Amino acid sequence: MEEPTMPSHVEIVEVGLRDGLQAEPVFVPTEEKIAIAKALIAAGLKHFEATSFVSPRAVPQMADAAEVIAAVRQPGVLLSALVPNAKGAERAAEAGVDAMVVFMSASESHNLKNVNRSRAESLRGFADVARIAADAGIPVHGAIATAFGCPFEGIVPVDTITDIARQYRDLGIETISLGDTTGMATPTLVKERCRALAKAVPDAEVALHFHNTRGVGLVCVYAGLEEGITRFESSLGGLGGCPFAPNATGNICTEDLVYMLEETGIDTGVDLEALIEVAKRTERAVQHGLPGQLMKAGPRLKTYDMESVRTAAG
Ligand code: COA
Ligand code: ZN
């Protein structure tokens, strides 16, 4: 069998400030969010899903969306933000985001939980979002949540994903992200869904968004790489989780992802040591430990003084 060709460069979309923080019970001060974002930019990250223009009653942590965008915007950095409806699109356009991300769940029940409306209602609203965004000259990306399984319905048929992707395309959306809200993706499902999308919407750019809930997040990335995917969403320290899904845990961890990619010979443009320092800072900001592994173990070739470890003498 022929070896799959790996890409030479991958774009990482840092979603820690959005997916990462949205379920955190303690409000992280706006100044701290901005400082974390700037430190991440200094570490080499260039694309952020930086916040959500959702209802601040639904997700209080995102109430400062406009301030975060205003303070972090800069040339060479792409700031996208989640937008659930026309009101969100107006707020996002006014704040000056570089891209709006509409989102709906592949499963009806999770869409009802997450945005309090059916998928059909969500899609109708996205037509308004697309119009507001076009008037402001801002591109729209489309996210599909519960794309690999739903915590309420179980299996999500692949045809549901391709149907939503076609509806996104009909709205002029060319970048589509498959979100694994509760960590139900497996490498087999990743391959199946990437191939189905490549057929259904061949012109779309597909990004993958995994959560490490069942420990196979990076394996799913590897499966995506083998399918030619070059954009992955991750969260520093492995922060993250959807507040409107049971047992939702963190995204795949950005440092761990950078480590795996760079050790595979794939360029990310990110300084791993600098990123680890930002993850440690973020741990202090959210006031609890994070699941990231590189931030604990350090890079592979980190060496220790032999005197620092006791000898196993009997
Ligand atoms: N930004 C700010 N406020 C908004 C808003 C937005 N995008 N959309 C609606 N609101 C406000 C309305 O103005 C209204 O306020 P009022 O009562 O003071 O007049 C209130 O929210 C209710 O509006 P309604 O359209 O009836 O919304 P809803 O209560 O059915 O909630 C959503 C729908 C989509 C706004 C809400 O469920 C939501 O924000 N969900 C986001 C979920 C999320 O971020 N999940 C994690 C990411 S996957
Ligand atoms: Zn997510």
- 172 near 140, Cβ under 8 Å? yes
Give the residue among 144, 139, 174 at the shortest CA–CA distance from 159.
144
pLDDT score of 4: 81
- Helices 158-170 and 187-200 cross at an angle (nearest 10°) of 40
Please, what is the Cα angle at 210 between 199 and 148, to 5 degrees?
A: 55
The ligand 1 atom at the shortest distance from the C-alpha of residue 181 is: 48
**Ligand in closest contact with the CA of 243:** 1
Identity of the amino acid at 52: S
Q: Atom 45, ligand 1: which residue's CA is nearest?
A: 114
pLDDT score of 5: 87
pLDDT tens for residues 80-93? 999 999 999 999 99
Beta bridge partners of 251: 211
- 279 near 237, Cβ under 8 Å? yes
Beta bridge partners of 140: 100
Ligand 1 contacts CB of residue 22 (under 6 A): yes
Mutational test site, ligand 1, from 24, 54, 59, 90, max ligand atoms within 8 Å of CB: 54
Ligand 1 contacts CB of residue 53 (under 6 A): yes
**Ligand in closest contact with the CA of 233:** 2
pLDDT score of 152: 97
- 176 near 207, Cβ under 8 Å? yes
- 263 near 229, Cβ under 8 Å? no
pLDDT score of 189: 98
Give the residue among 46, 110, 103 at the shortest CA–CA distance from 73.
46
The ligand 1 atom at the shortest distance from the C-alpha of residue 179 is: 48
Give the tokens for residue 275.
Answer: 């990123």
DSSP 246: T
**Ligand in closest contact with the CA of 23:** 1
Q: Which residues of the chain have pLDDT under 50?
A: none
Beta strand residue intervals within 146-255, DSSP E = 175-179, 205-209, 231-234
242 a catalytic residue: yes
CA of 175 to the centre of ligand 1 (A): 24
- 107 near 152, Cβ under 8 Å? yes
Q: Give the global pTM.
A: 0.97
Domains of the chain: 11-308 (3.20.20.70)
Report helix, strand or coil for 123. Answer: helix
Q: Atom 7, ligand 1: which residue's CA is nearest?
A: 88
pLDDT score of 60: 97
pLDDT score of 20: 96
Give the tokens for residue 91.
Answer: 């707020």
Measured distance CA(42)–CA(39) in Å, rounded: 5
